[in-house]
Amino acid sequence: MALYTVGRRRVIIALLLTSVLLLTLDLRGNPVLDRVRDGFSRIMEPIESATDVVTTPASRAWRGITDYDDLERENEALQDQLDRLIGTQATARISVQEYQELRALLDLPSLAAIPTEVAQVVGASSNNLDQIIEINKGRSSGFKAGMPVVNQAGLIGKITSVTDNTAKVMLITDARYVVPVRVQAAPDSAVPVETSPSGRTDEELRDLVTTTQAPPSTLVTDVLDTGTVLPQNDPEAVPGVTTTTLPEDGAEAPVETDPAVVPSSDPASASSTTSTTTTTTIVTDLAPKEFGALEGRGRGLLPQIRFLQDNPSLATLQVGDLVVTAGGFDSLAPPDIPVGVVVNRADRSGPGGPLLDIQPYADVTRLNFVRVVKYTPLSEVEQ
C-alpha cells in the first residue's frame, strides 16, 4: 500500500477547504457558529477552572524561581512611585474637580456621565501573536463589542467579542488595534501666559507671578474610584492654562479677559496658594497639537501614531507630549481617555509626517481589574 496516495492528499485538501469555508462564514458573521462557540466556552469553563486550580502552585513556583530578582527590583521602584503619588494625590483630586467644572462651563460631554463597570481579568491569549485578554463579565453585564476598556492608568483596549459571561479585550499593543487620538502638549512645555495687571512693572510681575508646575511625568487618574478620567494630571498641564497668584490688596485692576477666560472662585481650586491670594485661571488655547491614529504593533513593541500632516507653524510634536483619545463621530472610544506619552519621534521623508512612539500609561502586561466604559459611538446613537 502506498503511504502517500492521492486519496490521502484529498483528505488533507478537503480539511483545508473546510477550514477556509468556516473561516469565510465566521468572518462574515454567522449566528450558528457564534452559538457553537458560546456552547464550547461553557463546556470548557469548569475544565479550565479545575485546571487553573491544579496548575496554580506549579505556576507560582515557576514565577518564584524566574521572577524573584525582577520582583524585588520592581518592589523598590513601586515604593518610590507610591511615595511620589501620595504627594500628588491631593492635587490630583482638586484637579479632577476643576476639570469637571471646566467641562461643565464649556458644555462639553464628560466621561463621568458614561456608565462603567468593573471586571476582572481571568485569562490571556495563549498564542504568540494576539494581545488579547479575557474578562469575567460579558453580554449579561451589557458589554458589547467595541466598548473601550480602561484601568486606573488609562486606556488598555477594546472589547472584540462577548459571550454571556466573558468578553475578549484586544489590548492597545495588538497589531490590529487602532484608535483615533489627540496629542497635547506636555505639562513641562506649557508656556506661561502674560497677564497685565495694571500698575505693575515686569520685574514686579515676575516676583508676583507664580506659575505652578505640574508634577513631572505623573499622570493621576481615578478611573476605578470615581469613574472619571483626566486628560492630564493638572489644569496647568493644558497648554495655555496658567495659574497666576496675586496679592489680594484690592487695588488690582480686573484682569483683561475674553470669553475664554474662566475665573475660578472655588476655594478648592485655590488651595495650592495661600489664603490671601486670588487664583485666576486663563484658558487661552485648549486646541490640541495634532490628531492621528494610534496603532498597536504587537507584543513588546510600543504603539505608534501616524499623522496625516505635521505643521510646525501650528505646533511641534515632541517627546513628552500627552496622548488622549480623540473621540469623534465614528470613534469607539469617547474623548479624553488618557492613553500614553510620546517617547520617541521619527521623522519620515515625504508627506507622511512623523511617527511617534507612545509609551502607554497602563502596563498591559499586568492587568487585574479593569473598567469597561459602556460607550456607544455617536454614529450608532443617531441611527
Partner 1 sequence: MLAALWQGPLVRIVPVGMLLLALQRSIFTEITVAGVILQVVLALAAAAGAAGGSERGAVAGFVLGLMYDMLEGLPLGSTAVAFTLAGAVAGLLALIVAEPHWWLAMLFTGLGAAVGEIMVPVVRLFTGTTDPFEQRLTLIVPVVAAAAALLSPIFVPLARWCLGIKRSEWVAPPSESTP
For partner 1, the binding residues (CB under 8 A) are 3-4, 8, 11-12, 14-16, 18-23, 25-27, 33, 36-37, 40-41, 43-44, 47-48, 50-52, 55-56, 58-59, 62-63, 123-130, 132, 160-161, 168, 175-176, 298-301
CB of 176 to partner 1, least distance (A): 6
Which CB atom, from 110 or from 161, has the smaller least distance to partner 1? 161
- CA atoms of 44 and 161, how far apart (whole Å): 17
Sorted by sequence, the CB contacts under 8 Å of residue 376 that are 6+ apart come out as none
Cβ atoms 349, 304 nearer than 8 A: no
State the minimum distance, in angstroms, from the CB of residue 198 to partner 1. 60
* Cβ 60 to partner 1 shortest distance, Å: 9
Residue whose CB is less far from partner 1, 85 or 178: 178
Which of 123, 177, 114 is closest to 146 using CA atoms? 177
Rounded Cα–Cα distance for residues 21 and 19 (Å): 5
Nearer to partner 1 among residue 47 and residue 381 (C-beta): 47
Pick between residue 33 and residue 287 the one whose CB is nearest to partner 1.
33
222 DSSP 8-state letter: B
CB closer to partner 1, 29 vs 267: 29
**Alpha carbons 180 and 334: distance in angstroms, whole number:** 10
Task: Report the nearest approach of partner 1 to the CB of residue 157 (Å).
Answer: 14
Query: Would you say 123 or 328 has its CB closer to partner 1?
Result: 123
Q: How far apart are CA 328 and CA 323, in angstroms?
A: 15
* CB 160 to partner 1: min, Å: 7
Query: What is the rounded distance in angstroms from the CA atom of residue 214 to the CA atom of residue 266?
Result: 19
Sign for the CA dihedral angle at 162, 166, 167, 168 comes to: negative
DSSP state of 6: H
d(CA 317, CA 353) in angstroms, rounded, equals: 10
Smallest gap from Cβ 163 to partner 1, in A, equals: 8
Task: Decide: 155 and 172 in contact? Cβ < 8 Å.
Answer: yes
Residue 176 vs 206, nearer CB to partner 1: 176
Q: Would you state the cell numbers that stand for residue 154, as one nine-digit string?
A: 488609562
Q: Which three cell numbers stand for residue 349?
A: 521623508
Closest approach of Cβ 170 to partner 1, in Å? Answer: 10
